[in-house]
A and B are shown apart, each in its own frame.
Chain A
């Protein structure tokens, strides 16, 4: 260790390295918003790919259509899948409205000093849409699972 300079040593793994602030208990609001934006983004793109594959089945004449119909009836309308749909919808609403916040900040500089307020206003709007949509799906899910 004596023969190396400080710069040389520091480029490698350094035993003194410490990352005390990476633990979630230290995250502040903005960090959570950013993290959830990433996570919901991944969920949405995974869903998108599955959804694309599933609907593409319908375009294959004959067997494809049958498989799609079966898939739609047995899997798509299953209460559990409907429940997953609610999760997808939640992710979409979060990702969309948080994305709106980022667009407003990046393109017009709106709300950069009050980003939390902007976040709550947008989430409030998203929340209203969420409740309205839930009002639509939840009775169906309950009906299907009891039936």
Chain B
């Protein structure tokens, strides 16, 4: 039986109607069993301060709503065990570099606008078959990793290029583009490659690999961007392999 412990949640609060600056507020949280940070936030919300705002939905790491900057790393609150952090104090920040609407809720509009720009849907160009679209195992394997993206915005928030250039498409959108370029059923690959091949697209990436470190689903957006680059180059320069 695990012993109950008490940890201090240091939560960054910001209420646009009252505050002129964001500030930290501390809440003691009783940790019972294997509680996640999201459970801790819910406990604070239910027992101490019901004005605390944060996003969550699935509480099992598939909706991507609860991405936060917890103890110096980008994490999903629902996938982070409080005990695993091994610190008596846990700092909870909203995703940095995004506009804070209230407390831990950030404005993800710029992020989703960019996802929309890369046509995040399958275009087969051929008439739909009678049954399902068949893919071989090898073909499926190509998109095995990138298909996992839950659009949490961690990589976007972590990317130093995005910090300074708000036009840059960002790791998530480019990974999404790669996901459809690599998909054997998709017919729009040339258009997709053209669409991301501009100075605020794939060529803006500085390979800092912050996205790789940040992604809670272990996707490697930097790798996807490099593959897009390679595909673009070999399409334009036929001799380049």
Contact = CB atoms under 8 A, between A and B. Distances in A.
Interface string A85-111: 000000000000000001001111100
B112 to A, nearest CB: 14
Interface SS majority for chain A = helix
Nearest to A9: B16
Interface stretch (B18-26, B37-45, B78-86, B175-183): B18-26
Contacts of A26: 72-73
Contacts of B208: 30-31, 33-34
Nearest to B102: A16
B236 interface: no
Contact of B160 (A1, A31, A112): A31
Nearest to B16: A16
Contacts of B157: 21
A113 B99 contact: no
A90 B174 CA distance: 35
Chain A interface size, as a band, is 20 to 34
Given A10-B99, A102-B207, A112 B220 contact: yes
Contacts of B233: 107
A10 B96 contact: no
Contacts of A73: none
Contacts of B101: 6, 16
12 contacts: A15-B19, A15-B20, A16-B14, A19-B97, A20-B93, A29-B209, A30-B209, A30-B210, A31-B208, A102-B207, A112-B220, A112-B227
Return the 6 tightest CB-CB contacts between A and B, nearest first. Answer: A30-B209, A16-B100, A16-B14, A28-B213, A112-B223, A20-B93
